[in-house]
Amino acid sequence: MHKQDTLRLHPDILFRAVPPEGVLVDQRIPSVMVINESGLRMMELIRDKGSRQAVIDALMEEYDAPAEVIRADVDAFLDDLRNRDMLS
Amino acid sequence: MYHSVIRRRIREQGLLHGIMLELTYACNLDCFFCYNDREAQGEPLNPEQYRQLFDDLAAMNVMFVTFTGGEPLLYPHFFELGRAARERGFAIRIKTNGHAVRGATAQRLKEEINPLLVEMSLHGATSQTHDRQTRVAGSFNRLLRNIREMQDLGLRPGLVSTPTAWNEQELEAMYELARSIGVPLRFQGPVGPRDNGDQSPLEIQPSPASWERLLELGERYRQAPHATAFGPPVEETGQEDKGETAWCGAGSEEILVDPFGNVFPCLHLRWSAGNLHDLGIREIWERSKAFPAARELSEETAGQMREKKPRQLGAPLYCPGLALKGCGGCNSC
Ligand code: SF4
Ligand code: SF4
């Protein structure tokens, strides 16, 4: 499942930083949610990089954590987005 | 959490969260109580200036952009602006009378802008009452037809109404109508004077009893009336914040820009903060004293009103901006 590398957010999912967290709007419900700091960063990377591997690479540059931990965190976050139908 | 954490944070940190753009005061309807000053003069902002504004707002992490008017679809570059806003990732609300939102226009709205909400005014539950307000025959039936078309296209229509002496017998019928067509309805008010100071719209204020009735209906239909123009941007997650120190979002949640680039803290607090012909929005936001003053007014109002049941122009609501225009201060004490 995570081998599918290309990532694109659903066009009805919009978000902005309200430091240190973020606000996410799901236009389909519609609802406004709060996303935490790491969730916000992953959303930004998905939007800007567009691939799972690029998101992982960028986070490895930014955080001093073992690669497998970062990979697992990213995959868990992507699973959550998929479950909410937030990736198109 | 959005309510309790984010709204307070944007105010405390002085972040800008939303902006309302009055694109034009031209309109294809002619509502008796319209507050716009159609004689207002100035140099309209051009599409390039709006694009620059959107770039700046995106860099400032603004989430909500609302297009309003007049009738915003009559602004000659409406779709160009809508696309530009969409490309920059804003959640877009469009406040329109809905009269022109059909056919190819409705389709373009969905495909090119995909707004979060298309909010339209409902003035009654019958064509007689609605059209009496708009002064355009057939506007009620056309609104209902257009709403169906919008729903078929996957647009998200919403309705807003202002209680008046003309529709006060139809408040429940309006809720029922909205429910029957599957569109959320919220009430706002009270009717205020026109922006040029003309008080004649106040002639059609509903009776105080109708406001009480509206509160009861609001409970039943799970909708509370909002102080003028102030409502949550969309349905929110989370509970109301019991420790909230502000009365309303003046100067933080949704600032206002008129068609000529004048920037104000909100719809009814027309304190000049600057003009986009002279300065960028970031400079205006960071330098103008009008926004902190508006936030302060909101907090002072909360301090004065929290334990009271304020009424303004007969309504169980209180807008400090309207009060400063000389419309009914708090008469609860
Ligand atoms: S639709 Fe709105 S802008 Fe147009 S006349 Fe009515 S109140 Fe005024
Ligand atoms: S002053 Fe009035 S119009 Fe402005 S945000 Fe407060 S309630 Fe709304």
Tens digit of pLDDT for each residue in B10-59? 888 889 999 999 999 999 999 999 989 888 899 999 999 999 999 999 99
Q: Which domain holds residue A13?
A: 3-83
Give the pLDDT score at B3.
Answer: 66
Ligand in nearest proximity to the CA of B95: 1
Contact yes or no for B130/B140 (Cβ under 8 A): yes
Cα–Cα dist A44/A15, whole Å? 9
Give the rounded percent of residues in chain B with a pLDDT score beyond 90.
Answer: 68
A34 touching B (Cβ < 8 Å): yes
Tell me the residue length of chain A: 88
Residues 6+ apart with CB under 8 A from B292: B14, B251
Dihedral sign (CA B284, B291, B67, A24): positive
A25 touching B (Cβ < 8 Å): yes
Give me the residue from B6, B91, B114 closest to A18, CB to CB: B6
**Chain A residue numbers touching B9 (CB-CB < 8 A):** 18
Residues 6+ apart with CB under 8 A from A76: none
The mean pLDDT of B254-281, rounded to a whole number, is 96
Give the pLDDT score at B194.
Answer: 87
Closest atom, ligand 1, to C-alpha of B97: 1
CB contact under 8 A, A18 and B9: yes
Helix orientation angle between B127-134 and B139-153, rounded to the nearest 10 degrees: 100
B230 CB near ligand 2 (under 6 Å) = yes
Contact yes or no for B225/B318 (Cβ under 8 A): no
Tens digit of pLDDT for each residue in B126-158? 999 999 999 999 999 999 999 999 999 999 999
Ligand in nearest proximity to the CA of B96: 1
What is the B310 CA–ligand 2 centroid distance (Å)?
14
Write the CATH number for A40. 3.90.930
Q: Residue A9: inside a domain, yes or no?
A: yes
Token readout for A29 is 């419900």
Q: Residue A13: inside a domain, yes or no?
A: yes
Token readout for B80 is 């160009």
**Chain B residue numbers touching A32 (CB-CB < 8 A):** 2, 233-237
Q: Residue A88: inside a domain, yes or no?
A: no
B29 CB near ligand 1 (under 6 Å) = yes
Give me the residue from A11, A16, A31 closest to B63, CB to CB: A16
pLDDT confidence bin for B314, thresholds 50/70/90: confident
The mean pLDDT of B200-219, rounded to a whole number, is 91
pLDDT confidence bin for B224, thresholds 50/70/90: low
Contact yes or no for B294/B248 (Cβ under 8 A): no
pLDDT confidence bin for B271, thresholds 50/70/90: very high
Of the residues B22, B191, B319, which should be mutated to test ligand 2's pocket, given the most ligand atoms within 8 Å of the CB?
B319
Tens digit of pLDDT for each residue in A32-59? 888 888 899 999 999 999 999 999 999 9
**Chain A residue numbers touching B19 (CB-CB < 8 A):** none
Indicate the number of domains in chain A.
1
Q: Residue A28: inside a domain, yes or no?
A: yes
Tell me the residue length of chain B: 333
Tens digit of pLDDT for each residue in B48-96? 999 999 999 999 999 999 999 999 999 999 999 999 999 999 999 999 9
Give the pLDDT score at B242.
Answer: 56
